[in-house]
Amino acid sequence: MPDTPGTSRDTKRMEAFSDAVFAIAITLPIVEIEMPQLHGTPGLGAELARLWPSYLGYLLSFLVIGIYWTHHHFSGKIYARADHGFLLATLVFLMMIAFIAFPTRVLAEHIADAANRPAAARFYVLGLLLTALAWLVKWLSGLWGGSLDERLDPAYVRRLTWQYSVSTGVYVAAALLSLASPLAGLALAAAVTLYYLRRPPDPVYRAGREGPE
């Protein structure tokens, strides 16, 4: 079947759009750090120190969005086209990427507030779960809709499907666990997330097929 003009969308513009959303989502939380209002009374140093949960929130949100970006950046290499379903799934994923800053802030601002820490931890784990789920749906939508580069080795593709499914499963477990023990759920969800700090595996191509570029 030849490539009829317009039946597939090229991935370049979608990548550029995604990267722009990532860049905005990762930068915006800086406006949420509120400046102390002292109006001439001393104590700025103490006030700036007291803001540590806000700095922590900014750092955490940069970390999580940054981790997703390194994997999204990488995955840009393995799509050959972007059909309409994949476009919509990507939009849903980007919606979660921009949203995740909010539960992150909620967690950071209540990390030292014993009364609200459990609810904040549950909300954050739920946010991580929904983001991981959106990532998995995007992956499956690309896989089933034929957007993946067909030169990829099927074993490599199966391994990624497996990995993303297991991760999402662990986030589900973490969310359930957080109902009983918020901090244990948080620790589990944090562990899966940090696992993705390591280098994404290089794409593997079928024997005799060359990779991109």
CB of 70 to a second copy, least distance (A): 6
CB of 58 to a second copy, least distance (A): 7
CB of 20 to a second copy, least distance (A): 4
**CA–CA gap between residue 201 and residue 211 (Å, rounded):** 14
Question: Cβ closer to a second copy: 113 or 150?
Answer: 113
Question: Cβ closer to a second copy: 187 or 196?
Answer: 196
Return the half-sphere exposure (C-beta side, CA atoms, 13 A cut-off) of residue 13. Answer: 6
Tokens 């400046």 belong to residue: 35
Instruction: Answer positive or negative: Cα dihedral of 175, 180, 183, 187.
Output: negative
CB of 16 to a second copy, least distance (A): 6
Buried b (16+ CB within 10 A) or exposed e, 54-84: bebbbebbbebbebbbeebeebbbbbbbbbe
Question: Cβ closer to a second copy: 112 or 184?
Answer: 112
Question: Cβ closer to a second copy: 133 or 169?
Answer: 133
